[in-house]
A and B are shown apart, each in its own frame.
Chain A
C-alpha cells in the first residue's frame, strides 16, 4: 500500500476523498474490492453448481432403471463430462476461492490483496471461460470425452465437433484466472500480513490458502501445457498426441494427472482450512496441535505431487512404478489422519455448540473419513485394478468432494455469512437443509460402493437388467430427490436471509481471528487502522488478555490526515477478460476476423493495464468504527 501511494503523491490525478461505497451494477463490474470479488465468486460458483446439479439429476434419472431412455447415449456423455468439469473447475474451486477472497486478506490484517486488479481479472476470466464452455451446447454439443478428456477419444478424429475445443479453450481461460489467483494470494500472504502476524500466528485457513496457492502455481502449468498441446493438435494439425505420427496418448494422461491430483487437494485444502476455523470457535478452545496441523498441510501439499500415477494403475506402467506410487499415495493418509484426530481432540473436552455450521462439520468428519478410507483402498494398486473406473471410484470421490469439500463449504457459509452480509442464515432452515442433504447424500452415494463392487463401470449410459445392478441404482436415484430437497431449502435460506435474516453483531460466535474484530459487514477498507497482532488467534488474545480491542500498528500515512489509501475501481479487467473470450471464440469457430479482433483487444487491454498507474483513492472511515468485545 505504501509503495503505491508514494507514486501517487508525485503525479497522477488528485485523489478524491470518497467515504460512500458506490452502488449499482457498474460498481460490481468494475470493483477491485476483495470482498465483492469474493461474493461474485460465490454467486457464480453457486450458479454453476446449480447447472452441474441439473446435469447430475438427469444422469441419475437415466440410470434409475436398466435399459432406460431418459437421455440418449450421446447426450449422457455430454452430461457426465460437463457435470465433472463444472463441479471441479466452475463450482468447487470458485466457491473455495470465494471464501479465500472474502476471508484471507482480513484474517491477515490487510485492506485488500496484493494485486487487486489482477484479482478482478481472475474473477472475470473464470466467469468468461465458464460461460463460454456452457455456450458449447449451442454450437454443436458440449464436450463429451469425460472430465479428464483422454486422447485419442478427445482428438479431432474421434471427437470432430467443437465440444472439446470449448473444453480446451474455456478451461484455458478460466485456468489462467486461477493461476493468477494463486500468484496473488501467495504474494498477499507473504507481503501484506499485519505487523506481528508471524508465520506461526497465521490462522489455519490462511495456511491452507498458502499451500493451496502453491499447489495452483505448480499444478496449473502442466494443465496449461496439456490444453495448449491439444489446441494445437485439434486446430492446427499438430501431432503431439497422435500415435500414427509418433505422438503419445499417455503424454496427455500424465500431464493431466500431474495437474489433476494436486487439483483435488486444491479442492480439499481450503475445506480443511474452514473446518480448522469453525471447530475451535464452536468448541470454545484453541485448535489442538496447531503446529502439527501446519506441518500436515504442508506434507499433504508436497505429497500431492508424488502420487499422480495412482489414477493410471491400469495403463500398464508395471509393478515397480505402481508399487512406488501406491506407497506414496498411502502415505498421504498419515498427515490427513493427524488432522482428523486433532479436530476430534479439539472438540473432546471442549464445549461444542451444535449450531448449523457445526452440523456441517460433523457431517464432514463422518463422510470425509469414509471417503478417505476408500481412498486408501484405491491406493493399493492391485486392488485398484478392480476398483479403477468403477462406481467404487465414483462413490469415493463424491464422498471426498461433496462430503468433504461441499460440506465444509456449507459450514463456512453458515459461519461467515453473518460477517459479510450482517445477517445470520436461518438456523431452522439450516438444520433442515443439513439433515436432508446429509441423508440424501448418503442414500445416493453409499450404494455406489456396492455398485462398484458388483462390477459396474463408470461412464456407462445404461446397464443390462441381468447384472443385478438395478436395486442399488434405483436406491441411489431415490436419494437424489432427498438431496435436491435439501439443496432447495439451502438456496431459499440464502436468498431469504440475505435481506431478512436476523441481524448479526460484529463477533457473533465469540471468534478468534481478525475478521471478527471489524464490523459486519466490513467496510470497503476493512480496518480503520492496521491492527498490531500479539499472538496466535489475534482477536481472542485481545479479548481474553488485552482490553478487548485491537491495538493499532504503526502505519505509514501518505494522504490527507485521517484517510485510507485504497485502489480505484476499473473496467479494464472485465474488458481484458471479454477480449480473451472473443479471441477464444475466434479460434473455436475458425473465424480469423473474430480472433484478430479479440487478440487486438487483448493487446490494447494489456498495454493500458501496464502503462496506466492507478492513482488510488483516499477514503475517510465513517467514524472510528471499532469493535469492542462484550465481556
Chain B
C-alpha cells in the first residue's frame, strides 16, 4: 500500500501524513493503513461481484423470469456478522490510540502554550520569558505537550508529519502532544476555517537536537538588540514613532505590544508573514508596504510608510539577531 501511494508522489510531499516523523503520526498512520486494507478488501469484493453480474447475469431477451429469490437468512447473517468482526478488529486500535494520544505520558515533557490568532500563531514556553510566533522550536526525542487556546475564532493546529490536528477554541483549553524523532523543519497550517487569511495561516516546527534547542532557548531568553548601521538605528526609532511598537514586542528592547506577533530575533527566522514568504529584505519591504497585498485579510494595518522609512525599518528588523555565544555547539 505504502509503495503504491509513494508511486503517486504522496509520501514525499512536505506535509504528507504518510511520511511520519514522530510516534503520534506513526501510530495514526498504522491505523490508517490497517483500515485501508480492510476497505480495499471490501471494495474488491463488491466490484468483483458487480463484474460477475455484468458478465453473467444480463438480460438477453428471455421471456422466462429468473428464479424469484426473496431472501436467505444465512447469507444475510453472513454479511451482517463478517463486517461486524472486521470493524471490531479496527475498533481495538481505535480505542487504544484514542487514549494513548490523548495526553503525553511520562515526566520529561516540554510544555508549550499555543494561542491562535487571525492569522498567526503565538508560542510561549512556560517558566521562561520565551515568546515567539509562527515557528515552534522543539527538541528532538522529547514529548511536547501543546496547550491550545484561541484569541479570536476557532483554529486548528496541524503538522501532518508530527500528528493529527486539535482545535484551538476561544474560552477553552485543549491539549495535544507531538514528538519529533529526527531533526528537521516540519510544515503545517491552520486546519479550521478561520477567515479570509485562513489559507495563509501556516506554521513551521523546527525540531532541533537538544543541544541546539538549548542554545536557541538561551538566545531567546537573553536577546541582544544592537543595530549597527545608521539606517538600522533610524529604523529602531521608527519602530516606535510609526506605532509598530504598540502591537509588537521585541525582546531586548522596551517595545512590548501584545496585539501582533512577537518579533524577538526575527532575523533568525526563515519565514515571515505567517510562514508565507522567505525572510528576505525584499519580502519584508513588500510586507511593510502593503500587508493585505501580500496576505489577504491580514490584520496588520497598512501604515502607508514611505520607501525610505520602509528601508530603515527593514534594516532594523534584519538586525534582530542574537549572536551565538562563542564556544557553544
Contacts and interface: CB of A to CB of B under 8 A. Distances in A.
Interface of A: 72-74, 77, 145-146, 150, 152-153, 158, 243, 248-250, 283-286, 288-292, 314-316, 318-319, 322-323, 326-327, 330-331, 333-334, 337-338, 340-342, 344-345, 347-354, 362, 365-366, 369-370, 373-374, 376-377, 379-386, 388-390, 450, 453-464, 466-469, 471-472
Contacts of A322: 98
Contact of A333 (B28, B87, B174, B188): B87
A454 B67 CA distance: 49
Given A73-B296, A337-B83, A350-B57, A380 B94 contact: yes
Contacts of A150: 153-154, 192-193
Interface stretch (B42-50, B228-236, B280-288): B42-50
B70 interface: yes
B101 A290 contact: no
A153 B296 contact: no
B59 to A, nearest CB: 4
Contacts, number: 291
Interface of B: 5, 8-10, 12-18, 25, 27-29, 31-32, 35-36, 38-39, 42-43, 46-47, 49-50, 52-54, 57-60, 62, 65-72, 75-76, 79-80, 83-84, 87, 90-91, 93-95, 97-99, 101-102, 118, 148, 152-154, 156, 158, 160-161, 163-167, 169-172, 174-175, 187-200, 202, 296-297
B196 A73 contact: yes
A371 to B, nearest CB: 11
A330 B25 CA distance: 22
Contacts of A145: 193
B76 A386 contact: no
B69 A285 contact: yes
B15 A385 contact: no
B66 A334 contact: no
Nearest to B296: A73
A243 B29 CA distance: 35
The 8 closest A-B pairs by CB, nearest first: A385-B164, A455-B15, A468-B13, A460-B199, A316-B174, A243-B171, A373-B39, A382-B97
A344 B53 contact: yes
B170 A338 contact: no
Contact of A457 (B62, B68, B189): B189
A145 B196 CA distance: 10
B199 to A, nearest CB: 3
A383 B13 contact: no
Contacts of A383: 28, 31-32, 35, 94, 164
Contact of B71 (A284, A288, A374, A377): A288
Given A290-B71, A334-B87, A248 B171 contact: yes
Contact of B296 (A72, A314, A315, A366): A72
Given A153-B154, A374-B39, A354 B57 contact: no
A455 B203 CA distance: 13
Nearest to B25: A386
10 contacts: A77-B198, A289-B72, A319-B101, A326-B91, A334-B87, A338-B79, A382-B93, A457-B191, A460-B199, A467-B187
A464 B202 CA distance: 10
Contact of B101 (A77, A152, A382, A462): A382
A242 B161 CA distance: 34
B58 A382 contact: no
A345 to B, nearest CB: 7
B53 A450 contact: no
Nearest to B36: A377
Given A349-B57, A362-B50, A380-B31, A386 B69 contact: no
Contacts of A373: 39, 42-43
B197 A73 contact: yes
Contact of A334 (B80, B191, B194, B297): B80
A349 B66 contact: yes
Given A338-B80, A460-B199, A386 B17 contact: yes
Nearest to B155: A153
A385 B194 contact: no
Contacts of B190: 457
A150 to B, nearest CB: 6
A450 B10 CA distance: 7
Contacts of A454: 10, 13, 15-18
Nearest to A373: B39
Given A285-B69, A326-B98, A468-B13, A377 B35 contact: yes
B156 A389 contact: yes
Contacts of B38: 376
Contacts of B9: 468, 471
B112 to A, nearest CB: 16
Nearest to A378: B35
B58 A351 contact: yes
A341 B156 CA distance: 39
A382 B31 contact: yes
Given A380-B32, A388-B164, A450-B8, 15 more contacts: A72-B296, A284-B59, A286-B69, A290-B70, A316-B166, A323-B98, A326-B94, A334-B83, A338-B76, A352-B54, A377-B35, A382-B93, A389-B156, A389-B191, A450-B10
B69 A349 contact: yes
Contacts of A243: 170-171
Contacts of A457: 158, 189-191
Nearest to B156: A314
A349 B75 CA distance: 15
A222 B169 CA distance: 22
A459 B194 CA distance: 9
Given A249-B169, A334-B84, A152 B68 contact: no
Contact of A285 (B49, B68, B187): B68
B76 A292 contact: yes
B53 A316 contact: no
Nearest to A291: B71
